[in-house]
Amino acid sequence: MRYLRMLSNSAFAGLLAAAYFTLLLLQLNPEVPLGAAGPVLTVIALSYGLHITVVSYALYALRQITVIEPSPPGWISLRLSTWTAAGLSATASVITWLHAAGLRNALDPRALPPLRLAAILFGVAAMAFLILGLAQTAARQRSRAVVAILFTIATISSIAAPLWVRGAGLGPSMPVRAPASVIAMPAEHPRVILLCLDGASLDIISPAVAAGRLPNFSRILDAGASMHLATTRPTQPEPVWASIMTGMWPARHGVRGSSRYHPFNSDVELEVLPDYVFSQALVRVGLLVEEPYSSSSLGIQPLWRIAAAYGVRTGLIGLPLTHPAPAAPGFIVSDRFHRRAERVVTLDSEPAVSPSRLDDVARGVLAEAQPMRELRARFDLLPSTGESGSTVEADRLHHRLAQQLAAVEEVQLLAVRYAGLDAVGHYYLRYAQPEAFGDVTEDVRRRFGRVLDDYYAYVDTLVGDAMASLNEGDLLLVVSGFGMEPLTVGKRVLERVAGDPKFSGTHERGPDGFLMAYGTPVVAARQSRGAVVDVAPTLLYFLGLPVARDMDGFVRTDLFTPDFNEQRTITFIPTYGVQ
C-alpha cells in the first residue's frame, strides 16, 4: 500500500507538469483558442506527464528506501506535493522566461507580455509552494489542514492565473497592404548571385583558410567583405530563410518553425514548439503530426516578388517555401524538387518547376545527374531519407540546374540553396571536432574526421564556379543562415535513447551564420556583426530599389566601396505589404 500511495503522488506530479507544459504551449501559440486545450493536454499527459510520473515515482521510492520516516505518505501527501510543486513551478518559470527572451523575434508581439507575466506568476507560485513546504514541516497536525487548503488554492491558482493572463486566444493581426504607387522601373539592374548555405560556419571556414584550404573562400576573405550574421530562433531553415528573403523576423512574416503541427487526436494547429525540453520527440513518436509549410504560407512579400514587381527577373532554386513552384518572372525550382520520383518534374501532383516550359531543361538535368560516387561511401552515417535524392545529392542537382537554367533564362537575381553542409554537420561534426565530445577514438577519427572538411571543400568549388561567372559590377553574396555547434550532453543522451546516437551537430541555440560579399562594388573588409534580416534591404539597395521602412533589417552600405555608394541613394517606402 505504501508504494501504491507513492504512485498516486507521482501521478499528481505528472499531471501538474503536464498542465504547466500545456500552458507553455498555449502561450507560445496564442492563436489557439482556449477551448482547444484538451487535445493538447492529452498529448502532453501521454508524453511529459507520463515521464514525470515515472521519474517522480523512482525518486519517491529512493527517498523511502534511504530516509526512515515515522509514517507512510498519504494518497496525496502534503509533504511530497508541496516540494514537488515548488520544483515544477520553478522549472516552468525559468523555461517560460527563457522563451520570452529567446523567441522575442519569432512570437507575435501581442503574446510577449502575457508570456513574461506567466513566467513571473510561475515564479510566485514556486515561492508560495516553498513557503507551504516549510510551513507543513513546522506545523502541528491540526494546522496542517490549513496548509492543505492553502496548497490547494495555490495549485489551482498556478494554473488559472497564467490561463487568465493568456486569455481566450488572439485573433490574426490585420494584414498591411502595400500602396499601389510603389511600382517603378529602375534604370539598370546589376546582376546578383546569392548562394544560400545551411549550417555553414565562419568559425570553421576561417581556420581552414588559414591552413591553406578552401581557396575560393580565401579569395573572398582577402578581396571581399564578410561578417557574422545573428540568426533567429527557432533556428530552422524555413523561418531563417523567410527572414533573409523578407528582411523581417518571424513575428512579422508568420513562418515560425519548420512545419505546423497538430495533435494526433485533433486538428488544432500549433506553430511553435518549446525549446529546452526535447519537444521534437513528440513528432518522432507520432503524438504530434507534422504539416510542412508551402509557398502560400509566407505572409509578407519576399525579395523575389518585390524584385519582380520592379521588372527584375529572378531565378530561385531550392529555397524553402517555394513548393508548389509559383509563377514568377524568371524561374523557380521548388525546395522539394529533389524528392521527385524518377524523371518527373512534379511532386504530389503539384509543379516543382515554374514556368512549365522549362520542364524539358529540368528533365535533362535529372537525366544527367548522378550521385557523387566519389563521396557516397563517406556518407554512410547519414540516415536514409526515403526519397530518391538525399540533401547531399540535391546540392549537385541544384548546381547543375543553376548552370542550365541560367543559360536559357536570363535573370538579374539568381539564388541557389545548398543544404548539404547542414546534413553532413549534423552527423560528422563529432569527428571534425573530437575535442568537443571526448569519446571519439583515433580509429574513428581517421575514418570520418575529414568528411566535413571535404564537404566544405566541395562547397568551395561551387563558390569558385559562381565567382568565375561574375562580370564587371556584379555582386556575389554567400550567405549562411545559421551555423553548427556540438550537441549538448543532455541532447546526446536523448539521441542515444531515441535511437540516433550518431547525431552530433545542432543549430538549436541559434549559432551565427555569415555573409560574404565579392565583386567590383565590394570593399575588402571584415565588417561588424549583422543579422539575417539585413540581407533583403541590402540587396534592394544594391539593385537600386526602395527599402520598406517596416523591415526589421538595415542596409549594410559598409559592404560597398565609396564609389559605389556615391552612385546610390537609399530610398524608402512605407511597406511592401502582404503577398
What is the DSSP annotation of 372-396? -HHHHGGGTTSPP-SSSS-HHHHHH
Percent of the chain at pLDDT > 90 equals: 48
Which residue is associated with the grid cell 568537443?
Answer: 436
Distance CA 380, CA 392 (A): 12
Q: Binning pLDDT at 50, 70 and 90, where does residue 566 land?
A: very high
- The length of the chain in residues reads 579
Distance CA 129, CA 136 (A): 10
Helix axes 391-408, 420-432, angle to 10 degrees: 140
* DSSP 3-state of 303: helix
This prediction's pTM: 0.87
Q: Binning pLDDT at 50, 70 and 90, where does residue 182 land?
A: very low
Looking at residue 75, its pLDDT comes to 55
Other CB atoms within 10 A of residue 365 CB? 21
Percent of the chain at pLDDT > 70 equals: 87
Q: What H or E segment, with its residue span, contains residue 476?
A: strand 475-480
Looking at residue 181, its pLDDT comes to 47
Distance CA 252, CA 431 (A): 39
Mean pLDDT estimate for the chain: 85
Closest listed residue to residue 275, CA positions, set 229, 230, 233, 232:
233
Distance CA 517, CA 466 (A): 12
Contacts for 369-376: CB closer than 8 Å, 24+ residues apart: 369/393, 369/396, 369/397, 369/400, 371/396, 372/396, 372/458, 375/454, 375/455, 375/458
Looking at residue 377, its pLDDT comes to 40
pLDDT tens per residue across span 75-84? 567 778 898 9
Q: Domain extents for the chain?
A: 2-166
Which residue is associated with the grid cell 559562381?
Answer: 466
